Structures are given as structure tokens and as C-alpha cells.
Structure 1
Amino acid sequence: MNTIRNYMFRDPDALVRWVRLSIYAQLAISLIAVVAGYLEYGVLSGIRDGVFASQQAAIDAAEASDARQRLIGLAQIVISVVSGFLILRWIHRANWNARALGARNMDFTPGWSIGWYFVPIMNLWKPYMAMKEIWKASARPEGWQGQIVPNLLGLWWFFWIVSSLLGNASFRLMMRAKAVDELIQANIVTVLSDLVTVPLCLVFLVLMIRIHRMQAAGSGVRDLDLKPLRDNAR
């Protein structure tokens, strides 16, 4: 049974700040990756079209591009892992705090609100349903089932699915690409994946802030100083 006694409210202030910083880092590295991808496309197209003055010039350009891509790719992996860990912690905390605020009969436990992300097939909709429940319970803990969720949640999940599909396609194409045309195809999909990450991060940031503010208002905990984002979060 969900009771306030079992679920004491945990101040998410510091956690939300770290998530926000990690999302900013992910935004930055995604934009850098888009620029680097465009430069890589130029190198690959130049090799395909034979615009380099010599074979050695083409090799040098390709090696420089590969080195740049490896460095950016490593940074993306590190930032994505850190950001993903922090975001999952926040989702767990948000579910926990919704219960602490008095929400009863929630279908998703704090653990399963993040656990469904790792279950194949089910991760196509279960995490969205869990977030939808968190929103409703945060907006009105008592009688939360009747709450209406904004289109923001659907937009967030749309970008998440598209980003996941493009990321998976990019990885598969890159792993089997050998010819220049295949590398160009992989490059295009990768750039698209990086581009989609930008609105995904922005939408999730607004989503997180709005849920945080609803829970903070319900608990009496001091709200975050999010003045630059207040207009977007309303």
C-alpha cells in the first residue's frame, strides 16, 4: 500500500541541477557532432568525387576526420552514460516523491519506472506510461487518475523513439560500411541521429522542470532557481 509513511519526500533539488547540467553537456556534444559529421561528409564526398590533389592528400584528410570522429564519439559515450544514469535516478526520485505526496494505487513502482527502459519490446511504450503516471500524480496526488497530460509528453516520447531508431540504424550501418558510398550513408543517418537529440534534450528538460515544480509546490520544498527556463516550463 502506498503511504506517505513508507515514502518520505526526498528533496530532488541537487539531482535536478545535475541532470540539467548533463543535458546541457549532451546538447553541446550533439551540436559539435553535427558539425563534425558535416565535415566528415565533405571528406567522404571528396574522396568519392576525386577532388583531392593526390591519394596521399585524401588519406591524410580521411585519417584526420577519423581521429576527430573517434574523439567526439568517445565524448558522446561518456556524456550519454552519465546523463542517462542521472536521468534514470531523477525518474526514480520523481516516482518516489509522487507517492510521498499522497498518490495512491500507482501502477509503476519507482524501480519499474526505470526498469522498463531495459526490457526489449516493452520499452517501446512502458517508460512513456510510467512518465505519464508520474506527471498525473505530481499534478494532483489525490485523484490523479483523472488528470490530463499535455502534448509535451507525447512529443518527448516521439523524439525518444526516433532518436533510438536512428542511433541503432547508425551503429549498424557504420559497423558494416566498407565502400565510400556506404560510409556516406552511415554518416547521413548519424548526423540525423545527432540532430534529433537536440529537440529530445530540450523537450525532456522542460518536462523535468515542470514535474519538479509541481512536486516542489506540493511538498513546500524550495523550488529551483530556473528563471531562464520559467517561460518555457509554464
Structure 2
Amino acid sequence: MSDHLRPAYARPTRLSRWLIFFLVLNLLAAAVAVVTGFLARLPLVQLRRGNASDAVISAVLETEFRHNLVSAIHGVLGIVVAVLFLTWVYRVACNAHALAIKPMRFTPGAAVGWYFAPIFNLFRPYQAMFEIWSVSADPEAPYRRRRTDALALWWFLWLTTNFMFSVAIAIMVFSRKDDIGGLLVGNVFRLGGDALSVPLALVIMRIVSRLNRLQAAYRDRQHSHAQEHEAVPPAANTNFARV
């Protein structure tokens, strides 16, 4: 790869700190959403059993409002996390291109853009992240080690969580307000999405930390080798002109 085509290498230290900070906030919001979601489910169960007293109806409205409020906060934090995460993906993709010995398949723009392509966003983002990880781990032999359990777990949780929330939103939009069974099913999917958001945030933090260290370690080795090469004096010329 030509040097003039390589993106500039830059450690995403500040970006990573902000990303992890909001991941922690998102994790806490998800944990609270699990609690409020479970509490919102209890009066719905009583209502389905035929207990339609004023106290139960009041509890349904109160717990649902509280759960919707927490879910809204969780959603806003999720958007912030998504923006920071994609910005980080672009940055580490640029760094991988800066470290790579051979041309990479996915450009930094493609590593981000595939998240927004229907159908392709089911597998292309994982392939791009796998390439970034592999090149960062060993730019000279990027596919020598294919064991990436953290990436596999991240992608499984990512797809499953998004599926859970998508189904929950669809049920909320298309179900009737008096369909208690539909509300209970939607509540299950919302709880599932909130619950899976907790390990998803933890796995993303693990990937961010690990990938940053991999890239920084190889960059530091490159820098050390360059300094050692510059420090070695040129060999003395032992060829003497004949008299």
C-alpha cells in the first residue's frame, strides 16, 4: 500500500473515553429499564386475569409511564452511543489501514456505511470489524489467528438486541390499546432487549479497550524499530583505494 494513500494514524484516546463513559450510562439505564419493565408487567398480568379495579388500572398507567420515561432515556443514550461507536469504528479502521501491509477489503467509510444498508447490515459490519481486528492484531499475517470470541459474542448480542427492540416497537405501533395479550408480549420483547443491552455494553467496552491496545502496541513497536534503525551508524567503508 502506498504511503501517500494511507490514512494518518491517531490514537482515539479521548473518543474511546467518551464512548466508554456513555456505554456505562447506557448500561445503567438498561438495568433500570429491566426493573421498571418488570414492574410494568405486574399490573398487566392482573388486568388480564380480570382484575380491572381502579387501583390496577391506575397502576398500569403509572408503571407504563415510568417505564416509557426510562426507555426514552435509554433510547437517547443508545443514539449517543451509536454515534460515538461508529465514529470510533471509522477511526480504528483508518488506523488499521495505516498499519496494514497489504490493501484491506473494507475502507473506513465502508466499515461504517454497511451498518445502514438493509440486508447487508446483517453481516457486512461484522466482516469489516473482523478485518480491522485481524490487521490490528498482526498486520504482517492478519489472518493467522481467527479466534475472535469477543467479536462473535458482540455481533450475536447486537443482532438479537436490535431484533428484540424492533419486535417490541412493531407490537406497540400495531397492537390495540385494549389488547392486554399484545401488551404483555411487547413487554417481554422490551425486557429482553433491555436485559441484553447490559452484556452488549460490556462486550463493546471490552472490544474498544482490546482493539485500542492492539493498535497502540504495534504502532509503538514500529516506532521503536524506526528509532533503532536511525540510531545504527552507517557501516565503516573498509575498501581502500589502491596506491
Return the offset for 1:58.
2.5
- Quote the Cα distance in structure 1 between the aligned partners of 2:90 and 2:101: 15
Alpha-carbon shift at residue 220 of structure 1 (Å) = 2.8
2:32 aligns to what?
A: 32
Q: Aligned letter for 2:155?
A: W
1:71-100 superposed Cα distances (whole Å, 9 cap, x missing partner): 112101210110000000111111101111
Match of 2:66 among 65, 68, 79: 68
> Which residue of the partner structure matches residue 22 of structure 1?
22
**2:167 aligned residue (166, 169, 178):** 169
Are the structure 2 counterparts of residues 71 and 2 from structure 1 closer, same or farther at C-alpha, using a change threshold of 3 Å? farther
The Cα shift of 1:51 comes to: 4.2
- In structure 2, the residue matched to 1:193 is 193
Root-mean-square deviation over aligned CA pairs: 1.8
Q: Percent identity?
A: 34
1:87 aligns with 2:72: no
Task: Give the AA of the match of 1:148.
Answer: R
2: CA distance between counterparts of 1:160 and 1:18? 20
209-218 or 172-181, which moves further after superposition? Answer: 172-181
Aligned to 1:97: 95
Give the aligned partner of residue 138 of structure 2.
140
TM-score by length of 1: 0.88
Whole-angstrom distance in 2 between the partners of 1:196 and 1:203:
11
Displaced runs of 4+ in structure 1, greater than 4 A? none
The residue identity in structure 1 corresponding to 2:197 is T
Map 1:209-220; keep pairs closer than 5 Å: 209-220=209-220
Does the Cα contact within 8 Å between 1:177 and 1:186 map onto a contact in 2?
no
Partners of 2:216 and 2:16 in 1: how far apart? 12
1:20-59 CA distances to partner (integer Å, 9 max, x unpaired)? 111111111111111011001101112222446x3x2223
Amino acid aligned to 2:42:
G
Larger Rg: 2
Aligned to 1:146, what secondary structure does the other structure show? Answer: coil
Q: d(CA) in 1 for partners of 2:5 and 2:108? A: 16
CA contact under 8 A between 1:103 and 1:144: conserved in structure 2? no
Aligned equivalents of 1:6, 1:30: Cα separation in 2 = 39
Residue in structure 2 matched with residue 46 of structure 1 by the alignment: 46
Q: Please give the secondary structure, in 1, of the residue aligned with 2:69.
A: helix
Residue in structure 2 matching 1:78, options 65, 71, 76 = 76
Contact 1:4 1:101 survives alignment (8 Å): no
Structure 2 CA distance for partners of 1:208 and 1:103, relative to 1, 3 Å:
farther
Report if aligned partners of 1:4, 1:100 keep a CA contact under 8 Å in 2. no
Specify the code of the residue in structure 1 equivalent to 2:130. Answer: K
Confirm or deny: 8 A CA contact 1:12 1:93 kept in the other structure: yes
Q: What residue in structure 2 maps to residue 180 of structure 1?
A: 180
Offset at residue 2 of structure 1 (A): 5.3
- Unpaired segments ≥5 residues, structure 1: 222-234
- Aligned residue-pair number: 219
Q: Choose the corresponding residue for 1:159, options 152, 157, 160.
A: 157
- Alignment of 1:131 onto 2:129: yes
Corresponding residue of 2:57: 59
Q: Distance in 1 between matches of 2:81 and 2:125?
A: 17
Deviation at 1:5, TM superposition (A): 6.3
- Check the 8 A contact 2:43/2:57 in 1, yes or no: no
Q: 1:113 aligns with which of 111, 116, 121?
A: 111
